[in-house]
């Protein structure tokens, strides 16, 4: 009778300990000299529960590790996406094909060798006062594919990018660019969003600017980069330089 009573107390202790366990379940063990059928049965039940708890804990740890891995992977999914780093660089994207306004007044050299920000080349752009198309302004869009004004599929999914950065300088300083932007092309295959900065007064030294893309829908961007200026603020025309344009 005494042996049976000890076995019942041990079983009660086991159940009370188990009921307080959550995700951090503890393995419950006890020992007794009771060799009655009831005690033996209880020992087997304890061993089974302990084994199940160990397996559950291992599964939880694996799931947690997998979730942490996925979060880490997603956080680092987006890598630098270059629009221009050097002339003919293999990782350049988009084409400076979307000439706008007085496009005949533009001269565009994407392989300018003098004083690049980095690498061996930069982009030199000049805009004269001829007003050839009668617009009084001009600009260029970098597009994918070339000459895509939203009338055909294209663009890139840039989801995950936090900003668009670029380096720019003026020939003399004081040149005014009304806007630098990405996105904004409208059509049957429109850009999914738009963001920009401006106006920007240039200096003769290289300076980096950035367009904040936090919270933007970048799932389909046809117009990767653009700039525009006008004659009202640049009566003598404009010469300026661009380099290292990239999404980050």
Q: What is the pLDDT of residues 115-128, one digit of tens each?
A: 999 999 999 999 99
- For 167-197, how does the pLDDT look when each residue is reduced to its tens digit (9 = 90+)? 999 999 999 999 999 999 999 999 999 999 9
- The token duo for 139 is 């600009």
HEC string of 66-113? Answer: HHHHHHHHHHCCCCCEEEECCCCCCCCCCEEEEEEECHHHEEEEEEEC
Higher local confidence (pLDDT), 181 or 65 = 181
- Terminus-to-terminus CA distance in the chain, angstroms? 77
The SS3 of residue 195 is strand
- What's the confidence (pLDDT) of residue 20? 44
- Which residue, 139, 142, 127, is CA-closest to 96? 142
Question: pLDDT value at position 77?
Answer: 80
Is 44 in a helix, a strand, or coil?
A: helix
Structure tokens at 99: 């000439």
Asked if the 81-247 domain carries CATH number 2.60.120.430, the reply is yes
Task: Place 72 in a pLDDT band, splitting at 50, 70 and 90.
Answer: very low
What is the model's pLDDT at position 102?
98
The CA-CA-CA angle for residues 21, 26, 31, to 5°, reads 120
The pLDDT tens digits of the residues spanning 140-176 come to 999 999 999 999 999 999 999 999 999 999 999 999 9
Mean pLDDT of the chain: 82
For the chain, which residues make up each domain, given as ranges? 2-75, 81-247
Per-residue pLDDT reduced to its tens digit, 13-54: 333 343 444 444 433 443 444 456 665 666 565 566 566 656
- Measure Cα distances from 212 to 16, 78, 83, 180 in Å: 57, 15, 16, 12
Check: CB of residue 123 under 8 Å from CB of residue 83. no
């Amino acid at each position: 009778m005494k042996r049976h009573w000890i076995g019942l107390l041990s079983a009660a202790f086991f159940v009370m300990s188990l009921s307080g366990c959550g995700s951090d379940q503890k393995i419950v063990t006890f020992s007794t000299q009771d060799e009655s059928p009831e005690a033996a049965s209880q020992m087997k039940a304890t061993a089974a529960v302990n084994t199940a708890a160990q397996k559950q804990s291992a599964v939880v740890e694996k799931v947690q590790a997998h979730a942490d891995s996925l979060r880490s992977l997603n956080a680092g999914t987006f890598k630098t996406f270059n629009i221009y780093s050097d002339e003919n660089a293999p990782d350049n994207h988009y084409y400076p094909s979307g000439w706008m306004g007085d496009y005949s007044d533009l001269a565009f050299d994407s392989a300018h060798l003098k004083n690049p920000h980095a690498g061996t080349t930069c982009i030199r752009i000049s805009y004269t006062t001829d007003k050839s198309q009668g617009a009084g302004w001009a600009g260029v869009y970098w597009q994918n594919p070339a000459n895509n004004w939203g009338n055909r599929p294209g663009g890139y999914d840039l989801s995950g990018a936090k900003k668009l950065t670029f380096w720019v300088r003026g020939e003399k300083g004081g040149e005014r660019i009304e806007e630098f932007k990405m996105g904004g092309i409208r059509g049957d295959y429109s850009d999914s969003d738009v963001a920009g900065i401006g106006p920007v007064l240039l200096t003769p030294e290289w300076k980096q600017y950035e367009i904040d893309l936090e919270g933007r829908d970048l799932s389909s961007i046809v117009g990767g980069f653009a700039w525009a200026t006008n004659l009202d603020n640049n009566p003598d025309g404009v010469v300026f330089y661009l380099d290292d344009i990239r999404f980050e």
